[in-house]
Structure 1
């Protein structure tokens, strides 16, 4: 959920104009806001330990062994609350649902620069859910989470029943990322992140949500539910920005291995998605992977599991059917 360019540009200008003299006051304000956000939006689930780090996950739905397991992996700058807004409730009658916070985001600990690699994230999350008795899940990834889901499938093909990519980032792309991500690759990134944590207004959050949902509307109540402040915390911003800025070489390295995937793979993508364009990712992926099937929604944007939740549930159920679960 990158900040809109006008605000990001303003932050850069203020940084260059020398807010260093107010650093203590700015840090103090950021500390207070982060404490407030974590109080207002506490962990929803439980913690398991992997390699001395905590991983936050939420388990709901059917009891273990009574239904297939579905693991939900969120996208960039998000957390598992994205799925609890609507999708989890739609799935929990037919599945045991495990929603996870990716390393360094939400309430999961960071592995430092090592978690730039989607393969490390996949391994960590596999080990985390294995502690819950998950053995052969359907793995669902949205956006950046699609790359993690693919890494999961590449690591454990026999233990992955199916993959579902919701607007998933799967393929190498050309061109730069947004202004905000480019800024965070420079020495100005740290001061800019502190300014965001300290001063970003509600209007900036609303603009960012409108941008990621475009051309469709943000569902009523979504902004209040997801706890956007959790993503504005300085550590969360830092993790998200370095993960996104580092994603391309990892996807480039994974892509030649995709044709070897044999499990059922269902893709859901909107043809108006400007964040992860369908022609760059999903359409190319299905040409490479015989087991992949694409459902394309005309006029849909990037957040189609909210704007078209019935379609998201349908492809997950189709993955279940194809996997013989």
Structure 2
């Protein structure tokens, strides 16, 4: 009797494990590596380097993706508009996409910042504007603290950089555990996560529309691969303790800085993180946009590029650009609500 009872959960666990292994291979066939894996000393980091063309007018730019992401995300948003204007480096953070995890130091933003600095050296980039979205904001801030000589400026997009109340979603805390976390990542994460790719990606953009090609172009499902899922969970679950220690040092940052955020971000507390950065980094500019969610890289891409230009020394009125963006977003939301309002039924004929 006991053997029969144990056989059911064992069979379910084995099915989950085999399903996860099969889907991992399937995802990697569908979303193969578009970058180049380069040895940076003890590990290989994956990246896409786009050299400047004949129209170069900006310093080199490094893009750091957020949690659950990979280099395809910022590349899909920015490469079409910036290609040729600067050397562009899109990278998979350690343990994400097709980059190796490396040592335990890469579970922290400062360790990942050091890995990015070594990747820049391998790519021949001495100094760059660092663009960080969401979790990538904590890494961008750490990069400026660890490598000020390599930092030409900072652009934070809906960053996660300061201590916040509460914690993180329960599955991150489970997946980071030594043994249980390994089992959870190899058995549960893939089948459960695949059911949430659609709704999860929509919620990241909310209240703004998600681009129709976003899921296929940026491959968010790659984070469901067991090793990547666990690395992502360890990153996210460890961030709060990290920023508690490092946030007081943000006042040491001395580089042109712009923070772009929205008042409708359902992923991070913009009042805490973005306003905190604006307070902590002397001379920084906060660009606050009403009706903007967690994806300014996609929803106000033009404004983000203007911010890069301003960081590079161009004369740009970002506050006026924000007002124009707000007017557009307000109209989009009004149109969306009107489209969702059911018509009054006509009288029967």
TM-score by length of 1: 0.88
Question: Residue 180 of structure 1: CA displacement?
Answer: 2.7
1:35 aligns with 2:35: no
* Local SS of the residue matching 1:216: coil
Question: Residue 280 of structure 1: CA displacement?
Answer: 0.5
The structure whose Rg is larger is 2
CA 188–182 in structure 1, closer or farther in 2 if over 3 Å, else same:
same
**8 A contact 1:103–1:109 mirrored in 2:** yes
**8 A contact 1:49–1:55 mirrored in 2:** yes
Instruction: Name 2:318's counterpart in structure 1.
Output: none
What are the equivalent positions in structure 2 for 1:162-181 lying under 5 Å apart? Answer: 162-181=153-172
Instruction: Name 2:279's counterpart in structure 1.
Output: 287
1:217 aligns with 2:209: yes
**8 A contact 1:116–1:247 mirrored in 2:** no
Instruction: Name 1:208's counterpart in structure 2.
Output: 200
Instruction: Name 1:182's counterpart in structure 2.
Output: 173
1:320 aligns with 2:312: yes
Q: Which residue of the other structure, out of 291, 295, 310, is the alignment partner of 1:303?
A: 295
Question: Residue 23 of structure 1: CA displacement?
Answer: 2.9
1:81 aligns with 2:72: yes
1:19-64: CA deviation from partner (whole Å, max 9, x where unpaired): 3333333222211110111111111121211222110000115159
CA–CA distance in 1 between the matches of 2:193 and 2:287?
37
What are the equivalent positions in structure 2 for 1:83-232 lying under 5 Å apart? Answer: 83-185=74-176, 188-200=180-192, 203-232=195-224
What are the equivalent positions in structure 2 for 1:16-31 lying under 5 Å apart? Answer: 19-31=9-21
* Local SS of the residue matching 1:280: helix
**8 A contact 2:262–2:270 mirrored in 1:** yes
What are the equivalent positions in structure 2 for 1:37-52 lying under 5 Å apart? Answer: 37-52=27-42
CA 246–281 in structure 1, closer or farther in 2 if over 3 Å, else same:
same
Root mean square deviation of aligned Cα: 2.3
**8 A contact 1:70–1:95 mirrored in 2:** yes
* Local SS of the residue matching 1:48: strand
1:257-286: CA deviation from partner (whole Å, max 9, x where unpaired): 111111101111111112122110111221
CA–CA distance in 1 between the matches of 2:183 and 2:271?
36
CA–CA distance in 2 between the matches of 1:295 and 1:196?
40
CA–CA distance in 1 between the matches of 2:136 and 2:174?
23
* Local SS of the residue matching 2:131: strand
CA–CA distance in 1 between the matches of 2:156 and 2:190?
35
CA–CA distance in 1 between the matches of 2:174 and 2:267?
18
Question: Residue 245 of structure 1: CA displacement?
Answer: 0.4
In structure 2, runs of 5+ residues without a counterpart are 1-6, 316-349
1:243-265: CA deviation from partner (whole Å, max 9, x where unpaired): 11001121122111111111101
CA–CA distance in 1 between the matches of 2:288 and 2:22?
44
Question: Residue 111 of structure 1: CA displacement?
Answer: 2.1
Question: Residue 287 of structure 1: CA displacement?
Answer: 1.5
CA–CA distance in 2 between the matches of 1:284 and 1:26?
42
In structure 1, runs of 5+ residues without a counterpart are 1-16
